[in-house]
Structure 1
Amino acid sequence: MTFALVRVRRGDLRLDLESFARYAGVHPDLVRRLVALGLLEPVRERGEWWFGADQLAELARIERLRRGCDLNYAAIGLVLDLLDRIAELEAELRTVRRSRPPTGGAPWTRTDSR
């Protein structure tokens, strides 16, 4: 069993399709299907697909949703988009909350009309 592993930049490792599938424990046809559905986005160089470590995490996330929630791959795309949007909104909310000065109490205990 051999892996085609390439270090592109410091800390940036890439796996070819076969190695990525083997490392993730899935069939390469499933990886091709996920790419076709837009759930995975490999880097394309000289006709080859290359996957980074972040794509392994994304594949694990996809498989957790498929198995845990019994979703088909088309529905998983929608769920992933919604989860990513929720994460963005939560990050924005944390940023806004950190930039506000303290208000001196919970909003439901205030007596003024703020």
Structure 2
Amino acid sequence: MLHHLSFGVLDLDRSATFYDAVLAPLGYVRVFEDDEAVGYGYEGGGDKLCLKLVPEVSIPGEGFHVAFAASSRDQVSAFHAAALLHGGRCNGAPGLRPDYGDHYCAAFVFDPDGYRIEAVINGPA
């Protein structure tokens, strides 16, 4: 359904360093960059997430978040650990979320600008 999503960020270098670290365990890489933007997606493909340098950021409120697909529970844990090492804040440690389903395993963090992001796998280990 979605082609890509863009986040406005205050410090492009800080945000790119954060997203390099948290998206790598999930298999996503930088697919383009310039002085005003950095895009992430699958190697050889287009961007699915674009970070854009802006002078002011307005973070969406409660109820908005972006969930990145993981292929294993280990990737979910690695995403969370990388986030905490690179300026993110915990918003839910890695683990099963029985309220969301029997196999829903996720980790939730705030990125350096305050966006709510998640890594998730919804399938048997």
TM-score by length of 1: 0.29
Higher strand share: 2
Higher helix share: 1
Larger RCO: 1 or 2 (CA < 8 Å, sep 6+): 2
TM-score by length of 2: 0.27
